[in-house]
């Protein structure tokens, strides 16, 4: 019987035409590419560990660590919107790995990259999946400005100690049992391994929020099936964002978990894995 995938056994660095990309890859079958959210110490494994373990029994699962995080290359702030960098990084990794088309799954910032990937490389996307992601437009049902989660995320970038990471993880989840010493130490260690990533994220020139008309056009006209997942208790990206996406994308369905924060794929891992498997299998 094969050993269960671990961070160490699945991790490697792939050189693409523009960047080095850290990946955690396991399994075989139809490819699923997973994109993490922002936050100091975020990696493909810390955002998707349980999902990689379960889904790799049936699929080829590739959890990217995007440029600007982990062992991946640094990103020059202000050169282009971050979502465009991330979308192109996905495309270049697919080129390098010989993948023509894939299901792309994005959490938070990673979901923004999925939207941009649909816009820039629609022929390479078979399934559009987001969790805890905002859509183009302005929230009307919640207060404006930075959410509680985004404020704490930015503060933690200035000092990603295990104690501050614990504060960040606590705001990301509904169930405090997910706030473990192991996860906080892992993310803190990953964040402190490359201080340049932290500095670049805090650079005022960094642009990660611009939503253009090109994305709206792509979302409203795509035939790609979409699965949108959100936690009702998300204190980082309000549920309203996924509701807007659901209204825009013709072939979409929205799944809302109660008692769930920003990391639905971790807090409700078993059900999320089953739903994702069913979605990919039926389309």
Residue 107's φ and ψ, nearest 5 degrees, are -100, 125
- Report the SS3 class of residue 26: strand
Counting every residue, how long is the chain? 283
CB 133 within 8 A of CB 107: yes
What's the alpha-carbon Rg for the chain, to the nearest Å?
A: 17
**Which of these is catalytic: 36, 230, 262, 268?**
262
**Partners of 128 in beta bridges:** 104, 226
Helix ranges (DSSP H) in 27-173: 44-55, 82-97, 109-120, 148-158, 162-172
Q: Does 197 participate in catalysis according to the annotation? A: no
Beta strands in 145-244 (DSSP E): 226-231
Residues 263 and 132: beta-carbon distance below 8 Å:
yes
Q: Which residue has the tokens 């270049």?
A: 92
Tell me the catalytic residues. Answer: 262
């Amino acid at each position: 019987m094969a050993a269960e995938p671990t961070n160490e056994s699945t991790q490697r660095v792939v050189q693409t035409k523009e960047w080095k990309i850290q990946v955690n890859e396991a399994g075989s079958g139809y490819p699923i590419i997973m994109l993490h959210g922002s936050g100091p110490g975020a990696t493909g494994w810390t955002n998707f560990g349980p999902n990689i373990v379960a889904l790799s029994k049936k699929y080829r699962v590739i959890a990217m660590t995007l440029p600007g995080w982990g062992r991946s290359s640094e990103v020059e702030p202000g050169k282009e919107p971050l979502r465009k960098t991330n979308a192109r990084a996905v495309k270049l990794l697919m080129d390098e790995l010989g993948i023509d088309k894939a299901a792309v799954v994005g959490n938070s910032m990673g979901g923004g990259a999925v939207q941009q990937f649909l816009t820039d490389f629609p022929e390479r996307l078979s399934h559009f999946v987001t969790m805890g992601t905002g859509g183009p437009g302005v929230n009307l049902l919640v207060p404006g400005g930075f959410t509680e989660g985004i404020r704490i995320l930015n503060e933690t970038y200035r000092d990603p100690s295990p104690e501050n990471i614990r504060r960040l993880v606590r705001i990301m989840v509904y169930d405090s049992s997910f706030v473990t010493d192991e996860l906080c130490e892992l993310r803190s260690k990953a964040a402190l391994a490359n201080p340049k990533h932290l500095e670049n994220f805090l650079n005022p020139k960094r642009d990660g929020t611009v939503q253009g008309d090109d994305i709206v056009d792509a979302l409203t006209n795509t035939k790609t099936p979409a699965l949108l997942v959100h936690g009702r208790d998300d204190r980082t990206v309000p549920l309203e964002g996924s509701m807007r996406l659901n209204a825009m994308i013709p072939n979409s369905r929205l799944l809302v978990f109660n008692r769930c924060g920003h990391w639905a794929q971790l807090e409700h891992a078993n059900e999320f894995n089953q739903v994702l498997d069913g979605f990919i299998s039926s389309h």
